[in-house]
Amino acid sequence: GATSYRVYRRLYSSGKWGSWSKIKTTTAVSYTDEAAKAGKNYQYMVKAVKGDSTSYYKATATITRLGVPKVKASNATKGIKVSWGKVTGATSYRVYRRLYSSGKWGSWSRIKSTSSTSYTDTAAKPGVMYTYGVIPVHAELLNNGILLEGVQAVQIARSRHSAGGLWDSLRSLFDRDDD
């Protein structure tokens, strides 16, 4: 068996693949390329090494690294509006939610898949704290069983009053006759 593996990478740019560059020699059977830039197309090759010999056979994979969306959330009339910036290479987005209850955060649940860059969660209950996360999805990669998870989350509580209801409540305090 192999004693180590050499990981190579090349970049697709201006309509053609660049030269292979060795980026890592490792004994592990996986590697995370933290230097890969969002929105760029990369091809990876792995060669097995034993002693002074390098395998003739190699495995390659092509992938587009997706960026991490900046997520915002705000109270809307009919729920919580979650919005995010467009991610280069993403064909859709998965919106996740978890809620805070009994002093702890619950597990994540996917609540929407969309090609839009916003979603209003009409099921959010007033007075409850939620965390929302968005994962960009590349359809071709997903069809090949790969989901790249670059997720950024934001927390928000749904207000108990609509904007009008809150204003009406505040106004009633000032309109009271204290005589």
Per residue in 30-42, pLDDT (tens digit) is 888 888 887 777 8
Q: Which helix (H) or strand (E) holds 42?
A: strand 41-50
CA distance 75 to 129: 12
Query: Residue 39 to residues 47, 65, 107, 113: CA-CA distances in angstroms?
Result: 26, 6, 30, 21
| C-alpha torsion angle, residues 134, 139, 140, 141 (rounded to 10) | 20
Q: How confident is the model at residue 148 (pLDDT cuts 50, 70, 90)?
A: very low
Query: Contact 114/95 with Cβ under 8 angstroms?
Result: yes
Whether the pLDDT of residue 117 is over 60: the answer is yes
pLDDT of residue 118: 96
